[in-house]
Amino acid sequence: MLSGKTILIGITGGIAAYKICELIRMYKRQNANVRVICTPNALNFVTKLTLQNLSQNEVGIDEFNIPDYKPEHISYADEADIMLIAPTTANTIGKIANGICDNLLTSVVCAFKKPILIAPAMNCNMWQNAAVKENIAKLQKYGYEIIDPEAGFLACGTEGVGRLCSLDKIFDRTVEVLNSKKKLSGKKIVITAGGTIEDIDPVRYISNYSSGKMGIALADCAFEQGADVVLISTVHVKRNYKIVKVKSALDMQKAVNKEFETADCVIMAAAVADYRVKNISEQKMKKTSDDEISIQLVKNPDILKEISSKKTIQTVVGFCAESENLLENAKEKILKKGCDYLIANDISRSDIGFSSDYNEVTILNQKGIVKKLERSDKYSIAKEILEVIYGQERNNEDNRELCTSGIC
């Protein structure tokens, strides 16, 4: 299943480095070409000779060892289809997140434009360190995929989250990324993200707590699977796909309508404000002696309902955020909106939803509940959502073909 693929493995100086020997063998059994780069400290845990014998390739360590006059970090980056860094130490995570290129491994990462998987492994207190968390968030923002460490007994003798995740999980994810890139090829998917901002005056506005993380995760996942992605976002983000920056609900409506006709799928993950200020003040509103102030609000357009009413070939997916009676409200909403799917979020929980890196959702269609996705990182949730949407679409296409053949 990996025949013809080149996998570049970066190994850093953590005790879990020895486990990568078995991972190399797993890749080789599937006919992958495996190349390895080590940081100098990684060789304290595993030998260069072992890695060379297992990978059947020279192991890169020295940034200035340049055979055939080729800059080594560029040649590694050009030749590989995917890069995996495992185990990834807190030190290397910090370097990559901040663009530091002080060894061969970090220089290759900086030049690598294909998928990069990062599998951290460290002491549980290090994993919970605020600086490490911030660096991980940076990497996710830049488009790196983090394969989170697992809980268990650590080499330092303590129990906690920090051990390298299972080799099977790393292997499976590598295969998925390499073999799923064209799954959505030819599909134009429009995704909205973030909370809209409705001005009151030049310095104040009405908005909500949406971070845009779920919409961005959906866009990243769809792009990785080969889709032509358009992300309409209130949140500033840099990616390799098309991004349309908007502010208000009216801005978002205009942007969605512009892309809708040529879209195969529209996923409304943004939290669009229900109301906007009727008369926006051109100057800053001054505080008065009055104890109360009134601002008149008017309804914003219902973008989801609007596009659902005019869809032809498009699949329209909505989101709902509820603090109570999640499923009852979601079932009522999907019937009112007329969309094909509705993703229901419970915002009453602090461990998922707004601003969190994790989510737990229930997917509904017009007939009822399709699937419940248990708590997981938002990228994994995004992947499952796309699988439900396009898995269902493939099943419908198969059924149509059978019916046309007289077999239904």
The single residue listed with the structure tokens 């409506």 is: 253
156 included as an active-site residue: yes
The residue type found at 306 is: E
Query: Facing residues of 10 across strands?
Result: 37, 85
Please identify which of the residues 110, 156, 265, 339 carries the catalytic annotation: 156
The residue type found at 356 is: S
- CA gap 264, 262 in Å, rounded: 7
- CA gap 78, 63 in Å, rounded: 16
DSSP 375: E
Q: Are the CB atoms for 379 and 217 separated by under 8 Å? A: yes
- Phi then psi dihedrals of residue 20, to 5 deg: -70, -20
- CA gap 63, 102 in Å, rounded: 9
Query: Facing residues of 93 across strands?
Result: none
Would you call 367 exposed, middle or buried from its count of C-beta atoms within 10 A (0-12, 13-18, 19+)? Answer: exposed
DSSP 128: T
Nearest to 118 by CA among 202, 12, 214: 12
- Phi then psi dihedrals of residue 123, to 5 deg: -60, 145
DSSP three-state, residue 138: helix
The residue type found at 288 is: T
- CA gap 359, 283 in Å, rounded: 40
- CA gap 272, 304 in Å, rounded: 10
Torsion sign (Cα): 153, 158, 159, 160: negative
| Sheet of 145-146, strand order | 59-60, 33-38, 6-11, 82-88, 116-120, 145-146
The single residue listed with the structure tokens 């990243």 is: 220
- Catalogue the active-site residues: 156
